[in-house]
Amino acid sequence: MQYDFVNLIQKLTDDYGDVVRFWMGPQFTIYTGNPKWIEAILTNRNLTNKSDEYGFLSNWLGDGLLLSKRHKWHARRKIITPAFHFKILDQFVEVFDRNAAELVDVLGKFAANGKTFDVFPYILLYTLDVICETAMGTSVDAMRNSDSEYVKAVKEAASISITRMYDVYMRTPLFYLTPGYQKLRKAIKMLHAYTDNVIVSRRKQLEASSNQSAEVASEEHEYGGKKKEAFLDLLLKTSIEGRPLTNLEIREEVDTFMFEGHDTTTSGVSFTLYNLAKYPAIQQKVHDEIIAVLGTDPHKPITMANLNELTYLEMVIKETLRLFPSVPIIGRKCVEEVTIEGKTVPAGTNIIIGIYYMGRDPNYYDNPLEFIPERFEGEKSVEKFNPYKYVPFSAGQRNCIGQKFALNEVKSVISKLLRHYEFVLPADQNHEPPVLSSELILKPHHGIPLQIKPRAPLTH
């Protein structure tokens, strides 16, 4: 069904252009991949509510930042924004780097045997480890324990919830009579219990530390150095309208951060590796930049300053997100009648913003299917010339709050992987682009089969 949805929207745009109205079952829907429409929608304060499809995530994520509406969303966004300040993000770089080193080790067997493997599930486990540590300060050790109950519950809850968005039968009350509903209930119960336990435990620790001396309060982190503050810690210290956040409110935001922060980054990293394998000259240029910035020691930890210097790698990532945006479509709900580009959009309309299709539209990009990182170079960069033509992290007041976090994570892990391995497309894959599956997140329908070769040690 998700694969069919990619083709459905593509056919609509091919036949009718970049603004199309149609009925999706009983729901009047407008699709647009037009930058002027997209700017009008994403900057309209009356169009901040998400479309109906997102409601299928509510049992898991509640009123977290992804799903909350209007006034509640505005209040939550205001208190969460400081958690993504650059000083906070700086401490997460060590987490990205340490887990990337673990991923290098996990993938070592494929470098040794030369076998083709699907990189996507391995990147998913890496991002789960990162997001658990940065969100909650806990380790689920997903890369070494991929069959753990927690990892399976995350996959189950995400898969079933997202499938309901696209499957007309799973949208109906009949879903509650199916085994899928029981699996979803079990998975969400497990995830909520895990987050609740971490919140209660951490709240007690913070209360205890506030009664102790500063020396004790700044306890050593288990990995060395002063203890890092996870996203959860910042929420526990935050107040809204003069009161502390409740455990439920904190759980909603932590679970939302968990959900939004692992699948999206997995998609971005995986498709970037695919493009680097497909274009060896570009991979070599990225590798040269990494060595110029970090030196020849592949084990040297990366810093925020290093990440900021990896400008060509950033261009490669941005060009990947143009062709393979992690979130291929955005949905909005029109709660009251609005006029866009002279057209009346009635209240109750579902609006689909086609980020994926706009990125491949020859009306907006020269040679759109060619991979050209230089599109994002300096002052002539696409995103500076027309910011609403390139919106992989959405735009306007409801843009992705974690986009800098995500970009730093992608740069960290790719810079680590490329210092150890060369990524290669299998011989039979060179001219076959991945078949795409548009769930809420863009995924390869048949995975991303790659091969890796160990890089020879470099000397000064």
Average pLDDT over residues 38-55: 93
Torsion of CA 330, 334, 335, 341, to 10 degrees: 130
Q: What is this structure's pTM?
A: 0.93
Residues paired with 270 in a beta bridge: none
Gap between the Cα atoms of 269 and 272, Å rounded? 5
The yes-or-no verdict on residue 224 having pLDDT over 50 is no
Gap between the Cα atoms of 294 and 305, Å rounded: 10
Radius of gyration of the chain measured on its C-alpha atoms: 22
Q: Is 132 annotated as a binding residue?
A: no
Domain boundaries, the chain: 1-210+228-423
In which band, very low, low, confident or very high, does the pLDDT at 222 lie, cut at 50, 70 and 90? very low
pLDDT at 227: 62
Q: How many CB atoms lie within 10 A of CB 11?
A: 10
Amino acid 378: pLDDT: 84
Classify residue 245 by its DSSP letter.
P
Assign 384 a pLDDT band (cuts: 50, 70, 90).
confident
| Residue pLDDT, tens place only, 331-379 | 999 999 999 999 999 999 999 999 999 999 999 999 999 999 999 998 8
Cβ-defined contacts of 145-149 (< 8 Å, 24+): 146/121, 149/190
Residue-wise pLDDT for 109-157, tens only, equals: 999 999 999 999 999 999 999 999 999 999 999 999 999 999 999 999 9
Residue-level pLDDT at 34: 95
Task: For residue 421, give the amino acid letter.
Answer: Y
Per-residue confidence (pLDDT) for residue 71, from 0 to 100: 87
Q: How far is CA 446 from CA 8, 36, 167, 265, in A?
A: 19, 35, 20, 18
Burial 85-97 (b: 16+ CB within 10 A, else e): eeebbebbbbbbb
CA distances from 414 to 236, 283, 317, 334 (A): 32, 11, 10, 39
pLDDT in tens, 308-318: 999 999 999 99
- List the CATH code of the domain at 1-210+228-423: 1.10.630.10
What pLDDT, on the 0 to 100 scale, is given for residue 388? Answer: 93
Rounded distance, CA 256 to CA 82, Å?
17
- 3, 147, 197, 221 from 70: Cα distances, Å: 32, 39, 30, 38
Lowest model confidence (mean pLDDT) among 50-54, 94-98, 223-227, 448-452: 223-227
Q: For residue 62, what are the contacts with CB-CB under 8 A and spacing of at least 6?
A: 248, 251, 252, 255
pLDDT at 211: 67
Residue with tokens 């991002």: 127
pLDDT tens, position by position, 276-318: 999 999 999 999 999 999 999 999 999 999 999 999 999 999 9
162-205 confidence digits (pLDDT tens): 888 878 788 889 999 999 999 999 999 999 999 999 999 999 98
